[in-house]
Structure 1
Amino acid sequence: MAMSHGRSFRSHIVGREAVGLVLRRTFAAAGGKAKKGKGGAAGDGPKASSLGKEVKSTTVVGANILKDGADPKILADSEYPDWLFHLLDKHPALSELRRKSKETLSYQDLKRLVKLDTRARIKENNSERAKN
């Protein structure tokens, strides 16, 4: 005998008028048989993409945020700004920045040192207060 456990809760969103939102989630008992419809069981495996290889290699699939828009095309590297390719560069860790002389650090590295050092001091102070 398959039994299901249901849980529901109600939350109210207050705006101009109160709107009730009811969510329900059910769980099937373990060992129960799944019903199969005409199309087979749902979620049997990953579904094959309906997009062709040409579309995948020339467009940024899923980047469209507009209702009536289309996915943007992938451009040549020369079409993008230079700073874009430096976003994924590795930044030095706090220990490396502390080892270097502060006079030789670039402005960005000096800013990073101050930020990371402040963050480390705050974490240390918080852990000390938590112990007491």
Structure 2
Amino acid sequence: MALNCMKSLRSITIRSEVIGVLGCRTYAAGKAKKGAKAGGAADAPKKSLLTKELKSTTVVGANILKEGGDPKVLADSEYPDWLWHLLDKRPALSELRRKSTETLPYDDLKRFVKLDNRARIKENNSLKAKN
């Protein structure tokens, strides 16, 4: 059986063009301008088409819809108050454990309970994984 396969493989003649196409991957060459070097000025970064005025009045790239344009930048007073507190530093679990739970504000107490529950779940999971 194996000898028959070897004989049939030897009898197949493959043209060199087919080997060239199957053996290597090629890419189409881009259209080169006359007098331009390949990979020269075409790879240089292009200047932005947006003006400074447009950049300062709109949020460029924030539009997620197919229709419409980018949203305009509003005055600070038109945004909700909670937005300005998103990047405020919040206390870590170790810092919250050092404080008394009776004196913690409601938001910090809620954060303490959430972080403490998460830490206990992770500890229980690691103990179960070791057994």
Normalising by structure 1, we get a TM-score of: 0.66
Letter in structure 2 aligned against 1:3: C
Question: 1:8 is matched with which residue?
Answer: none
Greater gyration radius:
2
**Percent of paired sites with the same residue:** 70
> Which moved further from structure 2: 95-104 or 69-78?
69-78
RCO greater where, 1 or 2, for CA within 8 Å and sep 6 or more?
Answer: 1
Q: Where does the alignment leave 5 or more consecutive residues of structure 1 unmatched?
A: 5-27
Aligned ranges 1:19-98 → 2 under 5 Å:
35-38=29-32, 44=43, 46-98=45-97
* Residue identity in the other structure for 1:105: L
SS of equivalent to 2:43: coil
RMSD of equivalent CA atoms: 2.6
Structure 2 CA distance for aligned equivalents of residues 49 and 131 of structure 1: 56
Task: Give the distance between the partners of 2:59 and 2:109, measured in 1 at CA.
Answer: 36
How many angstroms does 1:118 deviate by?
Answer: 0.7
2: distance between equivalents of 1:121 and 1:69?
Answer: 48
The count of residues paired between Structure 1 and Structure 2 equals: 104
Amino acid at match of 1:38: A
TM-score by length of 2: 0.67
**Shift in alpha-carbon separation, 1:36–1:76, aligned structure 2, 3 A:** same
Shift of 1:78: 1.5
Asked if 1:3 is matched to 2:24, the reply is: yes
Deviation at 1:128, TM superposition (A): 1.5
Q: State the Cα distance separating 1:45 from its structure 2 match.
A: 5.3
1:115/1:47 CA distance change after superposition, 3 Å: farther
Q: Deviations over 1:6-57 (max 9, x none)?
A: xxxxxxxxxxxxxxxxxxxxxx7xxxx983433765x935444321211111
Q: Could you say which residue in structure 1 is the equivalent of 2:100?
A: 101
1:125 aligns with 124
Once the two structures are TM-superposed, the CA of residue 75 in structure 1 deviates from its matched residue by 1.2
| Change in CA separation of 1:45 and 1:110 when aligned onto 2, cut-off 3 Å | farther
